[in-house]
Amino acid sequence: MIAAVLLAAAMATSDGQTTDAMDAGHGHMHHMSSPTHQVESHQMEPSHHHHAHQMNADGMVMNANDSVLPRDCQEISEDVSFEIMAGTEFAHGPGDTFGMSQHNLEAQPCSRITVTFMNHDDIRHQWMVHGLPRYLYPGGMFHLEANGGAAITGTFIVPSDRKTYLVHCDMSQHMEKGMKAQLKVGGGDGDLWSIPGISENYIHANDSGLTIGQALGAALLAFVVVLVVPRWRRKGP
């Protein structure tokens, strides 16, 4: 009973981020998109999204944006670059198979972020960030995919709010096996669950993109509903 209330409360307090995490499935549909599909998606997007999909022998960049400012930004605050290596050699914890060289990234609000993603494995890996504004990034997502042994670079611009973005590899089971990271903009709004090296001691089952603060808030709310409210009512008339 308590568990059910807690789950419901958690869903209620975290609407935005839960929805973003679910977009991971939607992203899958684009992975295998053919050149004809790319033409279709270009037609549906504003003209400044001409390079939304870039594909070459090394992999793919999706929803790249190095020039259009989010609505809440007057200008680009800074240019920041990350070189992120991925593969089995970066597995962090005993339960992890894969990992990345950086699981925690920090950037200023309204910064332009260039990520070079280097895949040290033979299989494909992805660096996918969720929760970006949908009017600029279809599905709220920016996404790099590097083929085995390849490196790929892409750029995106983050909005001004303090927020922690979920970053992960969307290949089946890769996030659960260690390919989960976070991007904190403006200091972020908390740590996500089970980020290797950051919050790995917390429950591994919760990969919904909830921050620890949101989950604790939900637990407190559940406590109030289950324990405090009935007592208060008993004292009433």
Name the residues that contact Cu ion, by CB under 5 A.
125, 169, 171, 174, 179
- Residue 129 or 169: the one with the smaller Cβ distance to Cu ion is 169
Nearest residue to the partner Cu ion, using Cβ = 169
Residue nearer to Cu ion on the CB measure, 17 or 119: 119
8 A C-beta contact, residue 62 and residue 141: yes
Supply the minimum distance, in Å, between the C-beta of residue 214 and Cu ion. 26
Q: Minimum distance from CB of 218 to Cu ion (Å)? A: 30
| Nearest residue (CB) to Cu ion, 171 versus 212 | 171
Strand segments, DSSP code E, in 72-179 are 79-87, 99-100, 104-107, 112-119, 125-129, 142-146, 151-157, 163-168
- Sequence-distant (6+) residues with CB within 8 A of 195 are 103, 104, 180, 181, 182
- How far apart, in Å, are the Cα atoms of 179 and each of 33, 43, 45, 48, 187? 23, 33, 30, 31, 22
Would you say 195 or 222 has its CB closer to Cu ion?
A: 195
C-beta of 174: minimal distance to Cu ion in Å?
Answer: 3
The nearest distance, CB 100 to Cu ion, in angstroms, is: 9
**Tokens for 99?**
């990992």
Tokens read off for 157: 């611009």
What are the φ/ψ torsions at residue 48 (nearest 5 degrees)?
A: -75, 0
Specify the residue, 16 or 25, whose C-beta has the smaller distance to Cu ion.
25
CB-nearer residue toward Cu ion: 100 or 222? 100
- Give me the least distance between CB of 83 and Cu ion, in Å please: 17
Q: How far is CA 207 from CA 70, 125, 144, 161, 200, in A?
A: 27, 18, 20, 23, 11
